[in-house]
Amino acid sequence: MQRRAFLAGSIGAAAAGLAGCRPRLGDDRRRILVLGGTNFVGPAIVERALARGHSVTLFNRGITRPHLFPSIEKLRGDRSRGSEELGSLGTTRRWDAVIDVWPEESGLVDRTAQLLANRTDYYFFVSSISVYRNFRPVGIAESDDLRLDMPGTYGGEKALAEGVLEAALPGRHGIARCHAIVGPRDDGTALHYWLRRLAEEEKVLAPGSGADAVQYVDVRDAAQWIVDCVERGRLGAHNLCGPAQELSLRGFLQEVRDGIGSRAQLSWIDRDFLREQGIQSFTDMPFWVPEDEDPGFYRISSNKAVSAGMRYRPLRETVEAAWNWYRSHFFKDTAFPSGGMGISREREVMVLDAWDAHRPR
């Protein structure tokens, strides 16, 4: 997905104003309905909820990894096909909390929110930082403007969904606005591009000066936060944009390299030269957004969540877990899917050679 498309979208500032927490719901097990639960973020949430002793029910199509979690209850239905597909959720059954993992259409959230509003105490939605209107300012906070004019786009639909929850469950919902989520079961190509490239132990094209910022969140940290929100009834929107301390692209790539035990050489190439070569930020060079484009994109404030208890594990742990998953599962002995982020090795070598010829001796 191109960064401009990722940035597009958003409405619903009302949800961002809901700070603070409801009183704790007590130490009893929660009955949690997870909508989805078998792809990437979902399994991490289910694993965390089960580890905390909660009772989990899954509602999904039964298509993606249906073999996961064989011992828990699974209800089937496809929200994208209309409200009649929600029949397995029943009409009177209650859950203490609902966790809606990753729909990209606000209408899907609307259907389940309307159906379950009177049958749950709390509804949690996994949103995205793409709901924000402007990524020029540094330190974007939850109260900043959301884009109101982009329905039908990824960010716009996420923001519309936030507004849906405010209307259906006022004062009874939580939202995580996540930056790039990475870690085990990650089926995206952004972090995997760098894992794969740096594992080759060759000269690797690194964009810019290395000073540009990077943000991400480990899927396990996001899951821990989400389940904690359920337990505490934590209200409103929180940015999940780690790490706790600002991280440069140079530090990020060096940690990725060291985390997989690589000896690859990072060759940092001037951003203007890369533009002359037709190399695009973000899509061609994952996690790279130059300071002169959108300086706030990787400098979003996570202070609200950190103050409320959010903790980010060291990048090394994230890299090692993602690398182990990469080697044993998703991309093992396969090429990247078409349309993924990054550039081919052939194109990379061409740019590296052009840079070597361009630089003064």
* Cα 313 versus chain centre, distance: 15
Q: How many residues does the chain have?
A: 361
Closest CA to 34 of 64, 55, 65: 55
Lowest mean pLDDT among 50-59, 103-112, 230-239: 103-112
What gap in Å lies between CA 54 and CA 169, rounded to an integer?
22
The chain-wide mean pLDDT, for the chain, equals: 90
For residue range 227-272, list pLDDT tens digits in order.
999 999 999 999 999 998 999 999 999 999 999 999 999 999 999 9
- H-helix or E-strand spanning residue 304: helix 303-307
Q: Is the pLDDT score of 12 beyond 60? A: no
What gap in Å lies between CA 287 and CA 212, rounded to an integer?
9
pLDDT tier, 330 (very low <50, low <70, confident <90, very high otherwise): low
In this prediction, residue 327 carries a pLDDT of 86
Closest CA to 144 of 128, 157, 133: 133
What gap in Å lies between CA 352 and CA 354, rounded to an integer?
5
DSSP 148-217: -S-TTSHHHHHHHHHHHHHHHSTTSEEEEEE--EESTT--SSHHHHHHHHHTT-SEEEEETTS-SEEEEE
What number is the average pLDDT over the span 344-349? 94
The pLDDT > 90 percentage for the chain reads 82
